Amino acid sequence: MAARIGIGLVGCGVVGEALARMLLEQRAEIAARTGLEFELRHVVVRDPAKRRGVQLPGGVVGPDTAAMLADRDVRIVVELMGGTDRAREMVLSALSSGKDVVTANKALLAVHGREVFAAARAAGRCVAFEAAVAGGIPLIESVRRGLIGNDIEAAYGILNGTCNYILTRMLDNNASYAHALAEAQRLGYAEADPTLDVDGTDSAHKLTILASIAMRRSCELARVRVSGIAGIELIDLASGRELGYVCKLLATARQYEDGLDLTVEPTFVPKEHPLAAVAGPFNAVSVYGSAAGHTFYYGRGAGGAPTASAVLSDMIEVASGNAGRVFAQLAVLPDQTPPPAYRPAGETVARHYLRIGLADRPGGIGRIASTLGAEGISIATITQHEPPRNGGVHVVPVIVTTHPVKRCAVDRAIRSMTAVDGVVSRPVCIPVFSDPGGGAG
């Protein structure tokens, strides 16, 4: 006989519908496979009258959480409403009402994670959140449990499918950022308001959660240095390709001797690295552990069914008691771990790509080289193609790659360069990913 587990679902958008469909259509299979029978007892939505893509059982849909919280047969509340403030309130209420919580809400956990985890601990409940980072990829449990014997040196993620889709399509179609974004919106890979995706905020949310678990330190969203892809130019993607690089919005958590670096920014990944091959709306994460060495995880980071797949695996782990044990026993969540020492900004050493718009007059290259030299930056490659010949003063892009150098030196050189005769605009700078190697090579 399968144990019956009452479920309250809050939020029924794309993921909620996919989850409800799985719970309703695969109830018997799931019970046979797991010994657990999930019973969808409440579906809380803003507009109960709205037509949905799934036929929900009569009487379960309602506009507020009171009935769900009062229902003692609801053991697990699944939070798929998104956002921070209302979700925080709802999750805290669910925990204090004795429910375990499964959530896919990265913003909630990035902003209020410590409070939410502490509240769960105080209530003797747990919070599971496999779906909050990298959607359908079983990443969180792989890092939290699978790599528990490792010190994690670094984690690098492509954590936002919208950005990755845009960057991929720009190159594939020789398209501008604006064109690729419009296409992504048309195909449902980008929201009508894509701000939180393209400005890097969504990646920063996920990085905060991932880094906290991987590094076993209570990481602060506010300490992530973030720059997004808005306004990235095709010429840089194409020039990078010529150099053997693929541009990704990379979310980086890397432990150095003098502290942890958390960064989200467009980064050139050498084409041999598995991250470089991640195309379109996919997500992927590289984790470098002291014992396992380099491990890499890839899959769909968003979408109804993939995210619901992760939510359902959490529900099964919660219902079987495993999630609760892991939550109670492993001291890896940010309400139990100390804050990291953060590395000062600018200390990271890497190769850098620079594109400098130069008026086509004698001496420009020399002045650029001198400016870089003054900051101790040594040039690895330099490329200037012949400008179009149609008279007038031309601006030619000069592409420089540097040998490994501290970011602060590059930033200083860029500031100086804007004052250099012939440099017509602020140079574009994209760092190049460097493989940390990892314990086992």
| Site track for a copy of itself across 248-287, x = CB under 8 A | ------------------------x-x--x-x----x---
Interface residue with a copy of itself, options 56, 332, 358, 413 (CB under 8 A): 332
Pair 200, 219: CB distance under 8 Å: no
Crossing angle for the helix pair 322-329 and 304-319, to the nearest 10 degrees = 80
CB of residue 199 vs a copy of itself: minimum separation in angstroms? 27
What minimum distance in Å lies between the beta carbon of 163 and a copy of itself?
19
CA angle 201, 199, 405 (to 5 degrees): 95
Residues acting as catalytic residues: 206
Least CB distance from residue 207 to a copy of itself, whole Å?
20
272, 282, 222: which is closest to 249 by C-alpha? 282
Helix axis angle for 106-123 and 322-329, nearest 10°, is 90
Binder among 62, 82, 270, 293 for a copy of itself (CB under 8 A):
293
**Could you tell me which of 120, 122, 72, 114 has the C-alpha nearest to residue 100?**
120
Name the burial class of residue 296, with classes exposed (0-12), middle (13-18) and buried (19+) by CB atoms within 10 angstroms of its CB: middle
Q: Indicate which single residue of 306, 340, 364, 431 sits in contact with a copy of itself (rule: CB under 8 A).
A: 306
- Give the Cα separation of 441 and 100 in Å (integer): 40
62 binds a copy of itself (CB under 8 A): no
**What are the φ/ψ torsions at residue 366 (nearest 5 degrees)?**
-60, -45
Q: Does 52 bind a copy of itself (CB under 8 A)?
A: no
Is 34 near a copy of itself (CB under 8 A)?
yes
CA-CA distance, 42 to 27, in Å (whole number)? 16
Q: Which stretch binds a copy of itself (CB under 8 A): 22-30, 157-165, 173-181, 417-425?
A: 22-30
The site string for a copy of itself over 183-222 (x = CB under 8 A, - otherwise) reads: ---------------------------------x------
Q: How many whole angstroms separate alpha carbon 191 and alpha carbon 375?
A: 42
Residues within the interface to a copy of itself (CB under 8 A): 18, 22, 26, 30, 32-35, 130, 136-138, 141-142, 145-150, 216, 272, 274, 277, 279, 284, 289-300, 303, 305-306, 308-310, 312-313, 316-317, 320-322, 325-326, 329-332, 439-441
